[in-house]
């Protein structure tokens, strides 16, 4: 899954709520391919949401597990326990309007446990964890799931083919201190110099 799209009435209010409750941050907010008056992208690690402004005459999906949709995020068992403890207070603290739902429904499916709750527009969200060991991922897969994908090839190479959501900063811009390449990378990871970054090129020489 690359991303899920959610219809919202107020892009700014939804971004505030998603940041406060789910720790999601704007993605490529200055890029017109990913942000305009009707679109905003947010992310937390490898989890991406496209926020689409609802037309005035349309309402959000009334989330349910029977006929209509919801968005689910998987976390570790430890993270699930911490989130479960903090969620009621987060929902109360980040209300965006009067009458907004702040209830939490918890479900236990044996090998899976889930929390269900709603955003300011009534879209249903789920945070879930699995107990089964077959869902465990390797250290390399976990790193790539969280990492910024940094493409250090040339612009021509990037235009021919590129990984989804990768950031192009040619290696020459990284080597030249006056080219701003390092600043672009830091901006993409919110200034976190310890953030995971996976650099790649065509053969491995430039990304080494």
Average pLDDT, the chain: 87
Give the strands of the sheet with 112-118, arranged side by side.
71-74, 124-130, 112-118, 105-108
Which residues make Cβ contacts (< 8 Å) with residue 207, sequence separation at least 6? Answer: 150, 152, 171, 199, 200, 201
> Could you tell me the pLDDT band of residue 3, with boundaries at 50, 70 and 90?
confident
pLDDT at 129: 92
**3-state class (DSSP) for residue 2:** coil
Closest CA to 169 of 160, 158, 15, 37: 158
Measured distance CA(69)–CA(12) in Å, rounded: 22
CB 160 within 8 A of CB 105: no
CA 19 to chain CA mean position, Å: 10
Say if pTM beats, i.e. exceeds, 0.85. Answer: no
At 43-64, the pLDDT tens digits run: 998 889 999 998 888 777 665 5
Find the distance separating the first CA and the last CA of the chain, reported in whole Å: 29
C-alpha atoms less than 13 angstroms from C-alpha of 200 in its C-beta half-sphere: 13
pLDDT tens for 34-48 read 899 999 999 998 889
């Amino acid at each position: 899954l690359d991303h899920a799209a959610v219809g919202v009435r107020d892009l700014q209010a939804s971004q505030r709520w998603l940041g406060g409750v789910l720790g999601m941050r704007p993605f490529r907010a200055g890029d017109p391919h990913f942000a305009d008056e009707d679109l905003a992208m947010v992310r937390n690690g490898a989890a991406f949401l496209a926020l689409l402004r609802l037309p005035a005459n349309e309402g959000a999906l009334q989330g349910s597990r029977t006929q209509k949709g919801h968005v689910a995020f998987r976390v570790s068992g430890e993270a699930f326990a911490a989130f479960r403890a903090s969620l009621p207070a987060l929902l109360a603290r980040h209300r965006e309007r009067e009458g907004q739902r702040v209830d939490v429904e918890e479900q236990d499916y044996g090998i899976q446990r889930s929390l269900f709750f709603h955003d300011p527009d009534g879209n249903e969200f789920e945070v879930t964890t699995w107990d089964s060991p077959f869902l465990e991922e390797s250290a390399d897969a976990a790193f790539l799931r969280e990492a910024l994908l940094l493409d250090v090839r040339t612009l021509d190479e990037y235009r021919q083919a590129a990984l989804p959501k990768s950031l192009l900063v040619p290696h020459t811009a990284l080597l030249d201190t006056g080219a701003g390449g390092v600043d672009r990378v830091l901006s993409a990871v919110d200034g976190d110099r310890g953030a995971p970054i996976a650099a790649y090129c065509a053969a491995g020489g430039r990304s080494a």
